[in-house]
Amino acid sequence: MEQLNDIALDTFFTPIFMKKNRPAYKLSVICDKEYEKEIEKIIFRNTTTIGVRKYEVQRDILSRRAEKVYYEDMELYLKIVNFEDEEYIYPEYESAKKLAKNKNIPIKAAFEMIKDIYRNIDLLSK
């Protein structure tokens, strides 16, 4: 999965049942067409699969920008996303995880804390 995440847009597992009710996992990978063959190589080398199903999809993405805030000697990363005159703040998971561990707080609280840190910096700069 780590190798796939280096070049894919997203990867995820879904628990499924195969023929004869055998439990399995379906690996889904979303990638740009240019990485298709590299993705297949990784899958065939690292799994027991003997086939890959491929579907083309369209993807719409919102405008976004990456931001970095500092809190107690930590660099915390987030994305600011815009949709129809609204702005949404999405802290990066690894930053929230680092803050949660550092402050010994739940990760949900760390996500909210990063949003608050960014909002307060944004208010101070106006």
pLDDT attached to residue 59: 85
Q: Is domain 63-124 given the CATH code 3.10.20 in the classification?
A: yes
Burial of 55 (0-12, 13-18, 19+ CB in 10 A): exposed
Q: What's the pLDDT band for 1 if we cut at 50, 70, 90?
A: confident
pLDDT at residue 125 above 60? no
Q: Which of 48, 118, 113 is nearest to 80 (CA)?
A: 118
Q: Residue 124 pLDDT more than 60? A: no
pLDDT in tens, 2-52: 889 999 999 999 999 999 999 999 999 999 999 999 999 999 999 999 999
Residue 126 pLDDT greater than 80, yes or no = no
pTM for this predicted structure: 0.69
d(CA 55, CA 108): 35
Question: So where are the chain's domains?
Answer: 2-46, 63-124
